[in-house]
Structures are given as C-alpha cells and as structure tokens.
Amino acid sequence: HSHWSYEDREHWDTDYPDCGGTMQSPINVDTARTIFSPDLRPIQLSGYSLPANEKLVLKNNGHTVVLELPESLAITGGYAQQYRAVQLHLHWGSLLAPGSEHTVDGRRFGAEIHVVHYNTKYDSFKEAMVRPDGLAVLGAFLEVGPSENPYYQEILEHLYEIEGVGQQTLVSGFNIAGLLPDNLKLYFHYNGSLTTPPCYQTVKWTIFNQTMKLSRDQMSILVNSLRTDDSDLLQNNYRPVQDLHGRWVLASFQ
C-alpha cells in the first residue's frame, strides 16, 4: 500500500478518493449553529477499567501513538447501537502551536484523544469501517492545566521506549475512562470520516465539551518524544478542518 503523510495532506484524495468526499472530518464546531437534541443521552462506557495485570500494546505507527484496547471495552449508551473499542490514539501540535483536529468556534486546543470503536453488529473493525453506521469515535480535547494527569501519565511515561516508527511496548492496564472527561453528558455529535487515509465516511463522531488537563511537562513529552519514518520529530499530526457541506452538528446541551 502507499505511504501517506501529513505533509501530503492536500493530495490524500489522489490515492484515497474518499478523502475528497463531502462528509469528511475533522470539522470546526460553530457553537452558534449547533442543534440542541434532547434525545442525545449521556455516553455510557463499560469495561473501561482494566486491571494492572492486563498488558496493552502501545505503538508508534509513524502517524501517532496507538494504545490497542481489548474488545471488553464498549460504548453501551448514548448511541443507538453498541460499539466495541479497538484502539485509542492522539493528535498534537508542537511546543509552539496547538494541534487538536477538531476546533470549536475556530479555537484549536493543545491536543486531541480519539477512542476508536466499531459497531458490534459487524464481525471486525475491517468489515465495520466500510459501513455507514460502522464506527464511533469519542474525541476529547487536551489542554495545559496546573497539575500532572495520572491517567495520561500511564501512557506518556512509555513514549521514550517507542521513539522509532514500528516500536512497541507494553503498558499495564489502568482506568481508560480516566483519559476522557468526567462529564459524558455534554457533547457534540455529527457524521463524518476517519481523519486519515482511507478517510472512510463511516464515523459517528462524539466530541466532548469538557476538556482534559495535562501539566505543561506532560504536554511537552507528548509533542517531543516520537519520530517519523524520516526520523523527524512526529509533530502537527492533525488534518485541517473540512467543509461541512450542509451537515448538521448536534449538541446534547443548550
């Protein structure tokens, strides 16, 4: 298969036509234009608290850091269907500039976490990723705050072990829900795509309103630890916001 990169991002649709589609992600959320939908129930997570004796693979894939998740984690509420977790990963900027993928009222946040799930009615992620209701990604923004975040530290403390592309290590289980906001009632919802090739337009996105706080040192470790194929620092691994093409963004709150 071909090798895409963030420097190439304006040309992804040459090799991956879906990247030029009309339901692409990420987007800017214009809060004055969201539609309040009382039907959007709180997101319910199950199985997210993992025992320390369960080891998870953490990998530098050249585009991001990926933590593989056991299929015991699932979204069991808030969506019309049930979705099983497969992995989580992050998008970030540099020491100089923020690097979230989604923006809110034009504001970009320091970084963004994506927890990727697929619909349990399909047999695998691969089958689900080409179905209109196949995928659900939970997204949350990361900002610098006053104190160290112990949940993010479980990942960040391993980044030095996976500096090179393809390197992986094992992380002890912890409460994965700690990587997401306490408040799972307040979120935006829209239909979009994978934010990297193949850009399949099969993702039901949830973007939480509450942000996650990391210490300045933790944010520095996130943006300065990993390298790409060319042994450059892996930074600014976010896609620019895409046109809504008439899509509606729903809000669970007023």
d(Cα 152, Cα 157) in Å, to the nearest integer? 9
3-state secondary structure 47-63: CCECCCCCEEEEEECCC
- Catalytic residue, chosen from 63, 102, 117, 158, is 63
- To ligand BO1, the closest distance from the beta carbon of 115 in angstroms equals 8
* Residue 11 among the catalytic residues: no
Among 102, 114, 189, 204, binds ligand BO1 (CB under 6 A): 114
Among 27, 40, 86, 214, binds ligand BO1 (CB under 6 A): 86
Contact 37, 209 (CB under 8 A): no
Contact 238, 90 (CB under 8 A): no
- Of the candidate spans 16-24, 149-157, 168-176, 191-199, the one that interacts with ligand BO1 by CB under 6 A turns out to be 191-199
d(Cα 161, Cα 169) in Å, to the nearest integer? 7
Q: Give backbone dihedrals phi and psi of 9, rounded to 5 degrees, phi first.
A: -60, -25
Among 100, 195, 209, 242, binds ligand BO1 (CB under 6 A): 195
As beta bridge partners, residue 117 has 85, 136
* Smaller CB separation from Zn ion, 152 or 254: 152
* x-or-dash string of contact with ligand BO1, 116-155, rule CB under 6 A: x--------x-----------x------------------
Among 194, 214, 244, 249, binds ligand BO1 (CB under 6 A): 194
**Paired sense of beta strands 28-29 and 103-104, if any:** parallel
DSSP state of 121: T
Binding site for ligand BO1 (CB under 6 A): 86-87, 114, 116, 125, 137, 194-196
Question: Would you name the residues annotated as active-site residues?
Answer: 63
